[in-house]
Chains A and B, each alone.
Chain A
Amino acid sequence: MDRSKIPLDLIRKKLAAEAERAKHRLEKAKDILLGPLDTEIGATPHDIVYMEDRVRLKHYRPEGAPRLKAPLLLVHALFNRETVLDLQPDRSLVRHFLQEGAEVYLIDWGDPGPVDRYLTLDDHINGYLNNIVDFILSRHGLPNLNLMGMCMGGTFGVMYAALHPEKVRNLITVVAPTNFDTDKGLLHIWLKEIDADRLVDAFGNVPGNLLTISYLLLNPARLLFDKYVGFLENMDNKEFVENFIRMEKWIFDSPAVPGETLRQVIKDLYHDNLLIQSRMELGGARLDLKRLTMPLLNIYGQYDHLVPPEACQLLTQRVGSQDTEDICLDTGHIGIYVGSRFQKELVPRIAAWLKERD
């Protein structure tokens, strides 16, 4: 009988050493997990300066005098919380922008309840977003502002800029899908098969838990397994534990999405890909991308499996602006928000780009 070639002795020896280390780690982790932990998210000081229905506008003051004339409005996706932009003190996109001298406003889309189920994309773009922009412009006495949209918030930004180009001085889109005719991203593949009418008719607002499960399924090996192995390996490190809990709080706190809005997103974008063809309509007006004549900075991640480069890179070719730039970063979707290296490199680059056009 052949002897097994598996180096069992070596594995056993390593496992024994690892078990010993785990024992010490557990002893230390006990004190950390039972002690006080700072796991607050969205902690950068801010004021709520505008409210409409469930939507709130957060205002952050820059450190020192503003070094950019036009304020920066950050628009995040409806599908998860805006707190990912201010997740932890040393990895806060908001805080990095404040350090660059930007006056930052951030939209909190709030928690849609049953009363919000009939709100459409038009209500979000021409309603809430437009009212917020008008509020900021009147507050600063300016004709236009800098708009930066992340993920589907960037898609919202593109829609808004196509409808109200005169109010957007510079547009920045970050991992924002605009071309949905691709089979590179898993969401693009999955949503093609989803019957939007049936989904919305059954649920009204689509529950946040359902969306959270779909995000976790995008990479089960990392998000349902390796992440917790990482926690077990680092649970004797207080800072790691605090940041781990912050991220968990964010992931498992997805709000519901207003049914009619999701119906339109699935049908007009994921099924018919109308936006990039300038065929989409909101509030009776066609979204003509040639009306995007303001400077456009389009940022996406090379390894983004949620919004792949193919979903982002067509935009700069389709807009009317002559001043466009694509930046492809070697990271994934969430890495752009919370990766410390990317925040340290990306934010100064965006700030410099804005300063040149301020």
Chain B
Amino acid sequence: MPQMTRLTQAGVNRAMDKFGQFEAAMAEFIYLLFLPLKKSLRDMRGVLEEGGRPLEDFKEYYRQWLRVLEGHYMTLFKSPECTRTMSHTLNALEDFNQAKEEIVSKALAALPIPTNREMAELYREIYRLKQQVKSLSKKMADLPASG
């Protein structure tokens, strides 16, 4: 088992921090997603309390509410606040993902298992070689047949 050195502990703490930040960003984003729901129910309450001719069918209320909800979501999604929060949440997820990767890489370094970083280098090399093989195959196919 890899030893829990001070540096390893610092890496784990960093990943936990990043996870906490991601959770906070996610909570904020989910709260934003909840707002149109709240607003649409408030609007519908206003519609019902206004009175007037009652709708014949309960489904009519539902359809009306759905249209109101869609409108609020569209307004939210086009707002800079939503775009910023979404981007912030995604960045927090990316940061957590990378911090987690670092811990896993360090843990695997003591074991005979390749890390994701090592595999990524290998995949890059495979990609480069495949490109070379394809290019050479094409050149060979284009060569005039030797008689």
Residues of chain A whose beta carbon lies under 8 Å from any beta carbon of chain B: 4-7, 10-11, 14-15, 18, 114-115, 117-119, 123, 127, 183, 186, 189-190, 192-195, 198-199, 201-204, 217-222, 225-226, 229, 305
Q: How far is the CA of A305 from the CA of B78 in the complex (A)?
A: 11
Question: Are B57 and A14 in contact (CB-based, < 8 A)?
Answer: yes
**Residues of B contacting A195 with CB < 8 Å?**
87, 91
Question: Are B78 and A189 in contact (CB-based, < 8 A)?
Answer: yes
Q: How far is the CA of A192 from the CA of B82 in the complex (A)?
A: 13
B-side interface mostly: helix
Which range contains the number of B residues in contact with the other chain? 35 or more
Among A183, A201, A221: residue with most chain B CB under 10 A: A221
8 Å CB interface, B81-106 against A: 83-84, 86-87, 90-91, 93-95, 97-98
Q: How far is the CA of A194 from the CA of B83 in the complex (A)?
A: 9
Question: Are A115 and B58 in contact (CB-based, < 8 A)?
Answer: no
8 Å CB interface, B105-125 against A: 119-120, 123-124
8 Å CB interface, B18-71 against A: 33, 36, 48-51, 54, 57-58, 61-62, 66, 69-70
Known: A14-B57, A194-B90, A199-B94. Contact between A115 and B123, CB under 8 A? Answer: yes
Residues of chain B whose beta carbon lies under 8 Å from any beta carbon of chain A: 33, 36, 48-51, 54, 57-58, 61-62, 66, 69-70, 73-74, 77-78, 83-84, 86-87, 90-91, 93-95, 97-98, 119-120, 123-124, 126-127, 131, 134
Question: Are A199 and B90 in contact (CB-based, < 8 A)?
Answer: yes
Q: How far is the CA of A88 from the CA of B90 in the complex (A)?
A: 35
**Residues of B contacting A229 with CB < 8 Å?**
62
Question: Are B97 and A203 in contact (CB-based, < 8 A)?
Answer: yes
A280 to chain B, nearest CB (A): 21
B69 to chain A, nearest CB (A): 4
Question: Are A6 and B83 in contact (CB-based, < 8 A)?
Answer: no
Q: Find the A residue at minimum CB distance from B69.
A: A221
Question: Are A193 and B87 in contact (CB-based, < 8 A)?
Answer: yes
Known: A117-B120, A220-B73. Contact between A7 and B58, CB under 8 A? Answer: no
Question: Are A14 and B94 in contact (CB-based, < 8 A)?
Answer: no
Question: Are B83 and A190 in contact (CB-based, < 8 A)?
Answer: yes
Partner among B51, B73, B120, B127 whose Cβ is within 8 Å of the Cβ of A219: B73
